[in-house]
Chains A and B, each alone.
Chain A
Amino acid sequence: MNIQDNYLKNKKNIFFSENKDIQTHREKLINIFENDGFDKKNNESLKNINQKNFIDFKYRYLISEETSVINNNQENNYSIVSVNGQCSSFKDDKIEITKILDEDYNDFSKNDTIENNDHFVNLNSLFLNSGFKIVIKKNNNIKIKISNIITDDDLTIFQKNNYICEEGSSLNLIEEYENKNNSTSNILNVIKLEKNSQLNHFLIQDNSPNHNLIITSHSSCKKDSTYTQKVYNFSEGYVRNFHYSELIGANSEADLQGIFFLKDNNTSNNKTFVKHLAEDCKSNQVYKGILNDSSKATYFSNTHVDQVAQKTEGYQLSKGILLSDNASYFSKPELKIYADDVKCSHGSTIGPIDENAIFYLRSRGMSKIAATKILISSFINEELSSIDNEQMSEIIQKKLVRYLSKVK
């Protein structure tokens, strides 16, 4: 079924289909789909994926009877269970959770950092059926853990979440995506950091082979704010992590990191993009991947430094280990620089596990498999040891052990 028919047929289930502004925007998006075609070769958002699953999908959405739960068990500690992308409203003197509104949609659709040929983001805007908005109030320091639950098979979730960290606030956000059903989630997180705020964002992704997760985020950082994102992808199903950051205030920082573990026929597409639009900002983009069997991965990273963004420091690093003959890894680390007083660099390596290192360990009596496992663990040790949350560290260690047990 083509996109337009699909949309028209399900229009009544889709958010904001009464709003005229949004309606015009959506018509534009449909036009992009009609005219652009699906040029896999030149469209980063489509590389390696099976278009059929994503473009010619069957739309299905349920509002679950189970309601989401918001707990405030400890002081400053919240845990949220979002069901099918929805979350009930909540309000206290520190945070406020609501449904997303028309204005949040417009707010995002005017942004031009994300390319207009990113079909997944366009699909998200078109079929939007869930999402919530979380505001962290001024000068609060809190922790939130969100578990994303999907209740049924073959659902298509198109979710848009807004996070707003008000001035001087600090948020530690852990998001879990662990689903065992055959659904597709297409999530767009729009994150706003006001002056002097801070957000540590962890995403743990561990879905079953038939569950697809497409997650895109767009963060904008005002003066003196810091956004740190760490993605741990253990999923056995398709995952797309596209993360965009805009540094719009002086002295702000963005740190986008990720590690992914792939096996079997799994595919993962990753992208990070940092746009420096103010002076004295720092950015860091680090992705590491381990690819086994016939898995495929892509990683696009991009640092854009505007003419006014003097004294920028922007670093990129991409590392891949191929464990099997059939695995493939594509990386494209880009720098676009229009200011002269900058320090920017990127590094990229792809290769097998160092044979000399294996030899060293084996000469000390270790089996080849044990040596391989040790070297994989050490490859990502830096990322794992930097987790300061003990509970999370444990969870991730367990998942790593599970992945390593399949390595032969």
Chain B
Amino acid sequence: MNSETLNTLDSYSKNKYKYGFVTDIDNEKPKKGLNEDTIKFISLKKKEPNWMLEWRLKAFSKWKKMKEPKWANLNFPQIDYQDIYYYSAPKGFEKKPKDLSEVDPKLIETYNKLGIPLEEQKVLAGVAVDVVFDSVSVATTYKGELEKLGIIFCSIGEAIQKHPDLIKKYLGSVIPAGDHSFSALNSAVFTDGSFVYIPEGIKCPMELSTYFRINAENTGQFERTLIIADKGSYVSYLEGCTAPKRDDNQLHAANVELIALEDAEIKYSTVQNWYPGDEDGKGGIYNFVTKRGLCAGKNSKISWTQVETGSAITWKYPSCILKGDNSIGEFYSVAITNNFQQADTGTKMTHIGKNTKSKIISKGISLGKSQNTYRGEVSFLRKADKARNYTQCDSLLVGNKCGAHTVPYIDSKNNSAVIEHEASTSKINEDQLYYCRQRGLSHEEAVSLIVNGFCKQVLQELPMEFAVEAQKLVSISLEGSVG
């Protein structure tokens, strides 16, 4: 390796987290720790009906008997669940503001620092934003317009009160509370998140979007998102995250459930850029997310796209259960790890119905001393006639202190199903670098160009609003590497 590359790597690894700042807002918290009282407190604060509290307590009793899953290629200290606040809502939010002018100006300022000017977004991008600051939705825009179409887009807390039938029917139907310890934990203590219902035959005219933000120190954020697309409907949902700089590890265990009925399509895109810890691996967010979609009806489609650049630990497997005949599942992922970050991410495609199709494109980039693992399972059950899967997972290594791993599980129980899997691992091609430099690009520009090209297959799947941000994020993650 030449000295320039070494310099590049050095500056890479010194690249600091740009969005690290803390907004000072008084937080209302219960005591630290997890017990039945905490759950009752949360339920009371959120004015939940009794059946919801019972549902939570049932999940909690399951959680108590469970152990964290250990199979992932991750190293982290034991999580002390009793040392975490499970509820934090900015003060004065018992009554929700009717419009943005009622929102705490400090909050608005936070968003501005992040480059999400709500006012501007409303006008320019046409995106309805359901902003989650810590755990309570603070502002919801474009609600009226969506209501006209019969689309329900609100916080899950509101949905529990206003649409109990839908919640009772679908909450926990894709990710049962007892699925594993993180899903049980989330089911017991989730505080907020989004709820989307698209009625029959409606194509949602705009991208629905939520910005998550973790703010109060030591507050684990437990989001619960539920999206239901009724027959023949379409929705594209965006989720993006940036978090302020903190030294204590913050636990995040979100659950996202998608349900696509007959002929419906859900597109779920994520850009995740939470605080990854400093260059010595101190601090950073522990991200244990369960995302699962159910293609319940015929011809339904669920597509996951994710760009993962943040978090000290990423444990995330957005999966699809392809139950309906002819249903389609897709997974596009870019995961970049730097410094001491660890990512174990991938997907699970379970083919149950006939003619089901799935496609997996995963790109992993490891820098510094990080470990990046792709872990995916594709299974064809007995009745999945003519099912089809294509998987491609590529890894790029920059520097010789990092690791890139690929662990696919492939299981076929049907003889008409066809499965193809390929994977490759390599470093940045010297010839490509040479070619770019010869044409006058600096080393940094060349690396950035090549990495962006490497990720392009995934980035192009993102909606316009996100694609720009994601590309920037990729460049920022590489910045310094590249200099």
User: Chain A residues in contact with chain B, CB under 8 A?
Assistant: 42, 307, 310, 320, 322-325, 327-352
Contact = CB atoms under 8 A, between A and B. Distances in A.
B430 to A, nearest CB: 10
Interface string B371-413: 0000000000010000000000001011111111111111111
Contact of A337 (B398, B404, B418): B404
Contact of A344 (B382, B411, B420, B424): B424
A340 B423 contact: no
B346 to A, nearest CB: 12
A333 B408 contact: yes
Interface string B422-444: 11111100000000000000000
A183 B417 CA distance: 37
A330 B410 contact: yes
B183 to A, nearest CB: 19
Interface of A is mostly: strand
Given A337-B395, A339-B400, A349-B420, A332 B410 contact: yes
Interface of B: 71, 382, 395, 397-427
The 10 closest A-B pairs by CB, nearest first: A322-B415, A351-B418, A340-B397, A348-B421, A345-B424, A335-B406, A350-B412, A328-B413, A344-B425, A340-B427
Nearest to B386: A352
B423 A332 contact: no
Given A332-B408, A344-B425, A323 B397 contact: no
B419 A351 contact: yes
B395 to A, nearest CB: 7
Contacts of A350: 410, 412, 417-419
Contact of B421 (A310, A325, A329, A349): A349
26 contacts: A329-B411, A329-B412, A330-B410, A332-B408, A332-B409, A334-B408, A335-B395, A335-B404, A335-B423, A336-B405, A337-B397, A337-B404, A338-B402, A339-B397, A340-B398, A340-B400, A345-B422, A347-B421, A347-B423, A348-B410, A348-B422, A349-B418, A350-B418, A351-B412, A351-B418, A352-B415
Given A349-B419, A350-B417, 16 more contacts: A329-B412, A332-B410, A333-B421, A333-B423, A334-B407, A335-B405, A336-B405, A337-B395, A338-B402, A338-B403, A340-B400, A341-B427, A342-B427, A346-B422, A347-B421, A347-B422
B405 A325 contact: no
A57 B440 CA distance: 71
B422 A327 contact: no
A103 to B, nearest CB: 36
Among A322, A349, A350, max chain B CB count under 10 A is at A350
Contacts of B415: 322-325, 327, 352
A302 B90 CA distance: 50
B426 A322 contact: no
A345 B425 contact: yes
Contacts of A346: 406, 421-423
A124 B434 CA distance: 54
Contacts of A336: 403, 405
B405 A337 contact: yes
Contacts of B405: 334-337
Among B398, B414, B421, B425, max chain A CB count under 10 A is at B425
Nearest to A329: B412
B412 A348 contact: no
B412 A340 contact: no
A352 B422 contact: no
Contacts of B409: 330, 332
Given A42-B71, A343-B426, A337 B412 contact: no
Given A332-B407, A337-B395, A348 B71 contact: no
A347 B404 CA distance: 17
Contacts of B425: 335, 337, 342-345
Interface of B is mostly: strand
A325 B418 CA distance: 13
Nearest to A355: B416
A42 B401 CA distance: 29
Contacts of A310: 400
B401 A352 contact: no
Nearest to A324: B415
Contacts of A338: 400, 402-403
A307 B412 contact: no
A275 to B, nearest CB: 14
A343 B407 CA distance: 17
Contacts of A335: 395, 404-406, 423, 425
A395 B398 CA distance: 49
Nearest to B383: A325
A287 B422 CA distance: 15
B317 to A, nearest CB: 16
Contacts of A347: 420-423
A346 B421 CA distance: 8
Nearest to B411: A330
Nearest to A331: B410
A332 B407 CA distance: 7
A73 B151 CA distance: 86
Contacts of B404: 335, 337
B179 to A, nearest CB: 16
B421 A340 contact: no
A220 B395 CA distance: 28
Among A322, A329, A337, A345, max chain B CB count under 10 A is at A337
A352 B416 contact: yes
Nearest to B70: A42
Nearest to A349: B420
A198 B405 CA distance: 31
Nearest to B407: A334
B418 A342 contact: no
B405 to A, nearest CB: 5
A202 B129 CA distance: 65
Given A333-B421, A333-B423, A307 B401 contact: yes
B427 A325 contact: no
Contacts of B399: 340
B408 A352 contact: no
B361 to A, nearest CB: 15
Given A334-B405, A336-B403, A337-B397, A328 B423 contact: no
Contacts of A329: 411-412
A346 B408 CA distance: 10
Contacts of B423: 333, 335, 345-347
B259 to A, nearest CB: 28
A338 B401 CA distance: 7
Nearest to A335: B406
A328 B411 CA distance: 7
Nearest to B372: A337
B459 to A, nearest CB: 23
Contacts of A327: 415
A320 B411 CA distance: 11
Contacts of A345: 422-425
B67 to A, nearest CB: 13
Contact of B414 (A325, A332, A342): A325
A323 B412 CA distance: 12
Among B409, B414, B415, B423, max chain A CB count under 10 A is at B415
Contacts of A331: 410-411
